[in-house]
Chain A
Amino acid sequence: MTRPAARRKERYEWNVVFWAYVLIAPTIIGEGLFALWPLVQSIYLSFTSWGVFGQVEWTGGANYARLLDDPEVYSALRNTIVISVASVAGTVSIATLLAVLLNVGVRGTSLYRVLLFLPVVTMPAASAMVWKWIFNGDLGLLNGALSVIGIDGPSWLTDRATALWSIVIVTIWNEIGIGMIILLAGLQGVPRSLLEAARLDGAGPIASFFFVTLPLLTPTLFFVVVTSTIGAFQMFDAIFLMIGPEGYALDSAQNLIFLFYKEGFIIGDKGYAAAIVLVLFLIIAIVTAVQFWLQKRWVHYG
C-alpha cells in the first residue's frame, strides 16, 4: 500500500494539493467552528459554575463530584443504555429482514422502499404528534386495536412503566428506513456468482443466506450498528416532543442528553450540564472504540 501511495503523491502538482485543501476547507472550518470548538468550550465549562447571565467561576471537579452523587444521572444512564440496546437491536434486525425481503424482488419493491423510508424524511415534530395520538390512553389507535383482542392498554406515554418503551418503538420506527436502504445496497453488492455456486453445491435459500449473504453483509451491518448506536445515544426529540420537560413520566424515560438539556437550558446550570454531556461523549467514544475492536471477530471484508 505504501509504495503506490508514495508514488502517487509525487505525481501531484502543488496546485492540485492547494485546491484540494481549498475544497475541503468549508467542511474543516465548519467542523472546527461548530463541533471541535464547542467541545473544547464544553470541557472548560464542565469545570466551572456558569450562572445564567454568563458569570463564569472556576469550581474544579465540583460538577463531576456532584454527578457521581446524583441519582438522576444513574437513572438517565440506565435509560440511555436501554434505549440504545433495544432500539439498535430492533432497528438492525428489522431493517435486515426488510432489506432481504425487498432484495428478493417482490412486485412493487420501489413502492415499499419509499413507504419504509418515509419516516426518515418526516419532520420529527410532525411524526411525534401523530405518535402521541396513537399512544393516547383513551382515544389512541394502539389501545383501540388492543381492545379488539380484549386487552385494556395503558396510557403509553404517561405511564411510568411504558413511557420508555414507547420511546424505543418510535426510535426504531424512525431508524428502520435508513438502515434498510444501506443494507439493501450492501445486499446488492453480494456477487450473484457466489450465490449460484452455493446453490450448485446444494445449499438451500436459508443456508445460503446464513453462510454466504450474511458474512458478506457484515461490513454494511457494522456500519449500520455503529451509526445507529451513536444516534440512539443522542436521541432527544421523541422524549422532548412526546413526554416533555414537565411530563409526569419524564424521569422514568429521560436519557443523558435530555438530562443535559434540562440542566443546561431549563434549570440554567450550564456548567453541570457540560459535565453530563462530557460523560455521554466519553461513553460514546468508548462504545465506538469497543465496536471497532470487536469487529475483527465478526466483520468479513471480502
Chain B
Amino acid sequence: MKPFKPLVAAVASATVLAGLATPALADVTLRLSIWGSTQVPMLEEISARFTEQHPDISISIEPVPRSDYVTKLETSIVGGSGPDIFWNALPDRFLDLSRLGLIENLSEWMADDPIDLSPIAPRLLDAFTYDGSLYAIPKDFDTVGLWYNKGLFDAAGIAYPDDTWTWETLRETAIALTDLDNNVYGFVVNPGTRQGYYNFIAQNGGKVITDDHRSGFDMPETIEAIQFMHDLIHVDGVSPTIQQTEEVNPQTRFQAGQAAMIFDGSWRARAFDGDPNMMENARVAVLPKGVVRASSSGTLGYSINAGSEHKEEAWEFLKYLASPEVALIQASTGTVIPSHLDQAGVWVDAIPEFELQAFVEMADYAAVVSHSFNTPAWDQPTRVLIKRALAGDLAVEEAASDIAELMNKVLAAEPN
C-alpha cells in the first residue's frame, strides 16, 4: 500500500502547522474520544483539514485503550467531563445513550441544517436510529471474511476458496490442508463473537437475539452452529484447541503461516499490510455459505455528547465528518471501509494485494452485530460459556441453555 508514507508526512506537517496556528486562531477546542491508535494519523489529517476551513475550532484527539473505552465513556458522561464528540459502537450502550438523551438527537439538528446522507448505506443509518431519530453518523463499517494463505493452498494443490464454498467445503478443505507434522492447521476456530460464532449462527439461520427480544441460544439452528465449530476442533481436528488459541491468537498463527484459513475482519487488512509474507500469501474470499449467506458486520458512528458546551462547533465538525471528503481520506489510507458505499472501491484498491473486494461484496447480506440495551451484561458470560463449550468441558446444549437462561433474564429486565 503506497500512499500511506507520504500521507504520514503530510499529516505530521499539517499537525505541526495546526499546532503552531492553534494559540492564535482557535477559540474552541473540541475533544474527540476514540479507541486504539491505528486511526490516529488519519484522524489528525482529517482534523487538520477541518481546522483549515474553520480556524476558530481545533480538535483534540483523545485515544483510549479499547478495553477501557466503555467504562471511561460511561463514567465521564455521568461525571460531566465527557468528550464533545466520540466514537459510538452499537454494543457499547448506544441504545441507552439515545434513550436517556445523553447524546444529541441528530434528526433534530438536521431539520434546521440538513446533511446529505444519501451516499451512506441505509442499513448503517438504520442501525444508529433509535425511536425514529438518528443518534450517530455512521463513519465506517466492517465485515468478516475468509482470509486464506495462498501459498499453503498452492503447496497442497487445492483450488482457492470462492463464492461456491459451503460449510462442507470449508470442513473438507481444512482437513486436506491440516498437516500437524509441520504445525499447519487447516482452520482456526475463533471463540470470539465477531470472528467466530456470530457468523456461524447467522449462516445456519440461527439468532443471537430473536425478533421478539429473547435469546436465540435455545434455537436448534444456533446450537447446531456451535456444535459445528466444536466438531471442527474435536472431531475433524483441523483447528487448535480453545486453550491453544487463547495463548496464540488466530491472526498471529495465520501470520506465521501455521493456519491455512481464518475468519477475520476487514480491519485486519491494515494490520497485515506491509508484512512481506502476508502481502505475498494472504488473500480474502467471502465466507462459506451455510443454510444462508451471512457475515457479521460492525459499524462505528460519531455522536455528540448532549452535555457538551460546544454543541454548535461539534455539529460543524460532525457535518464535515459526514462529507465525501472524509470518506475518501478514510478509504484511500486503507484504514477502514467508509460508510459512503460509493467509495468502498477506493478502500479495496488501497491494498490491492489482498483482493479485499470480498469484504465489500458481503455488505449486501452482512448482519449488524447483535446488541440490546444491556449488551455487556449478557455478552461477557456468553463468551466464557461458548469457550467452555468449544473446549469440550461443557456439552454444547448445556452451555447454550445456560446462555439462553442468563440472556433472557437480562433481556426481560430491559426497557422495551
Contacts and interface: CB of A to CB of B under 8 A. Distances in A.
Interface of A is mostly: loop
Given A53-B100, A136-B247, A137-B244, A267 B391 contact: no
Contacts, number: 62
How many interface residues does chain A have, given as a range? 20 to 34
Given A138-B247, A265-B71, A245 B78 contact: no
Interface of B is mostly: helix
Given A158-B243, A158-B246, A266-B376, A53 B384 contact: no
B243 A248 contact: yes
B391 A53 contact: no
A113 interface: no
Interface in B59-114: 71, 74, 77-78, 93, 96-97, 100, 102
A160 B393 contact: yes
A175 interface: no
A108 to B, nearest CB: 37
Nearest to A135: B247
A269 B71 CA distance: 12
A248 B377 contact: no
Contact of A246 (B102, B248, B374, B380): B380
A245 B380 CA distance: 8
B383 interface: yes
Interface string A129-149: 000000011110000000000
Contact of A248 (B78, B96, B102, B388): B388
Contacts of B96: 52-53
Contacts of A269: 377
Interface in A150-166: 155, 157-160
A250 interface: yes
How many interface residues does chain B have, given as a range? 20 to 34
A250 B191 CA distance: 15
A137 B380 contact: no
Contacts of A52: 74, 93, 96
Contacts of B387: 246, 248
Contact of B243 (A155, A262, A266): A155
B319 to A, nearest CB: 27
Contacts of B247: 136-139, 155, 157-158
Contacts of A262: 380
A44 to B, nearest CB: 16
Contact of B102 (A53, A157, A159): A53
Interface string A52-95: 11100000000000000000000000000000000000000000
B238 interface: no
Nearest to A268: B376
Nearest to A248: B387
B374 A268 contact: yes
Interface string B373-416: 01011001001100110010100000000000000000000000
20 contacts: A52-B74, A53-B77, A53-B78, A53-B97, A54-B78, A136-B247, A138-B247, A138-B248, A139-B247, A155-B244, A155-B247, A158-B247, A246-B380, A246-B387, A247-B246, A248-B246, A248-B388, A248-B391, A266-B380, A268-B374
Given A157-B247, A158-B242, 17 more contacts: A53-B74, A53-B78, A137-B247, A138-B247, A139-B248, A155-B244, A158-B246, A245-B380, A246-B380, A247-B246, A248-B242, A248-B391, A262-B380, A268-B74, A268-B376, A268-B377, A269-B377
Q: Report, nearest first, the 5 A-B pairs whose CB atoms are least far apart.
A: A158-B243, A248-B387, A158-B246, A54-B78, A155-B243
